[in-house]
Amino acid sequence: MSQYSGYHGDSLEFLEKNQIAVGDFVDILSDKVYSGIIMPRFEHNDDKHIVIKLKNGYNIGLEIEKVERIEKSIVPDKIIKRNESVNQNKELPNILLLSTGGTIASKIDYRTGAVTPILTAEELNSSVPELSKIANIDAKVLFSEYSENIMPKHWLEIAETIEKYSKSEYSGIIIAHGTDTMHYTSAYLSFSLAGFPIPIALVGSQRSSDRASSDAALNLIGAAKFLTECKTNGIYVVMHQDENDKNIACHIGTRVRKNHTSKRGAFQTVGDKPAFLVQNDKIFTNSKTSFFTTKKFDPKIKLNEKVALVKYYPGYEPSMLKNMIDSGYKAVIFEGTGLGHIGENMYSVVKMAHEKGIFMGMTSQCIDGRVRMTVYESGRDLLDLGIIPLENMIPEVALVKSMWATGNTENSGAIKEIMLDKIASEFSV
């Protein structure tokens, strides 16, 4: 990284004149005194401001014309890097932590201000020392991607890695993951690794680890406690239940959505309560549904990306669906209105898709409730055209399941059978 990364023009001249570079700790006198780290900027930003990270973790921009004085300061002791050795405690259970990116298992490089992955158990212990009292953590980085850049190929890599540990001595596996697409990954793992003998927890952080309000450490601690004490198996998303720090919710991997952009309690179980809660160091069963599965572990780590999620809206152009048919798509999941409807202008193309053996499933745009296509005439027409109602399956989960189903078989009858079979709690009562 350049010592002036993203700075140009007047702001670059200002930093060079004052012999300040990205990563330096500074005291700045402007409208008041600010202390923090000079942060890099995006290359297309203006040249009239500098950005510093304050001690509370927030970044602010300061107009250089209003800066009266800037000077380097001493690096605070609390952020000097320390790698404390970790001694394995034979009396504690063992957990594997797989990092895929996001901020949950990351550290701040205070030289550059960059967020980088935690690579070793020593670094993890230094960042979240409470973990060493719960379990012995083995950390492994699979890749480091922003959540939005995680693709189906990454799901395969995660699943193939986890499969290798099906007969290990680990009590559970944590997957550190960015939050935006976490529920897609949890859905794929739920289907491809159904029956996996130990619990798996996907854990994320809504707020980065350098912010005072970060949920990173508490989510990791909650996940570790859950995995070592829950006496269950399956795939879970483990995150804050709400804005306070007392409750960590453990959601079934196929029944969860991110329903808020920034709140710490952004993830919610759809149509039910979270399966478990971690409260004051104790694990509580929170739903009457039984989640432990005795299903024989028979991994099916395949998928087909030629699947589409179509959100119907007034004015949706049927030719867009026709293009999918012509492009060789194997399945289409409709996110229909209400009880499961799309406009009659779609009927002729839907009929064409059915005749070509393309699986078509119906979910609802409503956050809660079930698809019921027998209530109205339009729904019954769509049933006759070959669209299959998918109960209360979450649209994103239906998309992932259809990718998995079409990746494991090309037989249209078998695909329908798989989609209607309850494999990993994707339908709820």
> Would you please indicate which residues are annotated as catalytic (active-site) residues?
103, 179-180, 258
- At residue 413, what is the residue type? G
* Among 232, 165, 192, 184, residue whose Cα is nearest residue 424: 192
Structure-token pair, residue 379: 């729904």
CA-to-CA dists, residue 88 to 85, 102, 121, 131, 168, angstroms? 10, 27, 10, 12, 17
Task: Report the alpha-carbon distance of residue 273 to residue 277 in Å, rounded.
Answer: 10
* Among 301, 306, 361, residue whose Cα is nearest residue 335: 361
Per the DSSP assignment, residues forming a β-bridge with 203 are 176, 238
Task: Report the alpha-carbon distance of residue 87 to residue 67 in Å, rounded.
Answer: 48
> Which backbone phi and psi does 254 adopt, to 5 degrees?
-105, 0
Task: Report the alpha-carbon distance of residue 327 to residue 344 in Å, rounded.
Answer: 23
